[in-house]
């Protein structure tokens, strides 16, 4: 009897520790991508609300870089969300706001700077409160 109990327990341990089929790994990766994308969207929204709250002249590029930086640090899903949101915002802004192609180009440069993991403080204006 003890032998059969030992064999059953060993079988359970081996089955639990065995590699899962590939499909489960792919599903887990997809779930992580979606979680990272949702978190990245939150990071972008937080940077936007901070920018609006700070209302600090010359801080626009800093908040662009910071939002993209925070989102991209989450992983591929966060970087994807940051790119989609940044491109959509700049596309809308260039058509509606009338700020011009040069402003859009500089915003996209700051967006890319942050998504590449570079320090967003590169764009930080002097005097911007430390809480941002």
Assess if residue 26 is contained within a domain.
Answer: no
d(CA 62, CA 123): 5
Closest C-alpha among 5, 123, 17, 7 to residue 64: 123
Number of compact structural domains in the chain: 1
Res 99: pLDDT: 76
Is 23:14 a contact under the CB 8 Å cutoff?
A: no
Assess if residue 38 is contained within a domain.
Answer: no
Assess if residue 37 is contained within a domain.
Answer: no
**51: domain CATH number?**
1.10.132.110
Phi-psi region of 75 (alpha: psi -120 to 50; beta: other; left: phi over 0): left
Residue 117 CB: number of other CB atoms within 10 A?
12
Assess if residue 64 is contained within a domain.
Answer: yes
Is 94:72 a contact under the CB 8 Å cutoff?
A: no
d(CA 106, CA 115): 14
Assess if residue 21 is contained within a domain.
Answer: no
Length of the chain: 132
- pLDDT digits (tens), the chain, 132 positions: 666 765 665 665 555 555 567 888 889 999 999 999 999 999 999 999 999 999 999 999 999 999 999 999 999 999 999 999 999 999 888 888 777 889 999 999 999 999 999 999 999 999 999 999
Assess if residue 63 is contained within a domain.
Answer: yes
Residue 23 CB: number of other CB atoms within 10 A?
8
> Can you read off the two tokens belonging to residue 108?
């996209």
Assess if residue 22 is contained within a domain.
Answer: no
Identify the domain containing residue 82 by its residue range. 44-131
Assess if residue 53 is contained within a domain.
Answer: yes
């Amino acid at each position: 009897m003890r032998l059969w109990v030992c064999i059953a327990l060993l079988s359970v341990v081996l089955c639990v520790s065995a590699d899962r089929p590939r499909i489960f790994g792919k599903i887990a990766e997809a779930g992580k991508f979606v979680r990272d994308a949702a978190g990245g969207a939150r990071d972008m929204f937080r940077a936007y609300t901070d920018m609006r709250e700070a209302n600090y002249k010359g801080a626009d590029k800093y908040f662009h870089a910071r939002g993209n930086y925070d989102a991209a640090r989450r992983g591929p899903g966060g970087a994807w969300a940051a790119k989609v949101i940044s491109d959509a915002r700049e596309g809308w802004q260039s058509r509606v706001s009338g700020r011009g192609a040069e402003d859009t180009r500089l915003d996209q440069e700051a967006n890319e700077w942050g998504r590449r993991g570079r320090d967003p403080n590169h764009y930080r204006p002097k005097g911007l409160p430390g809480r941002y």
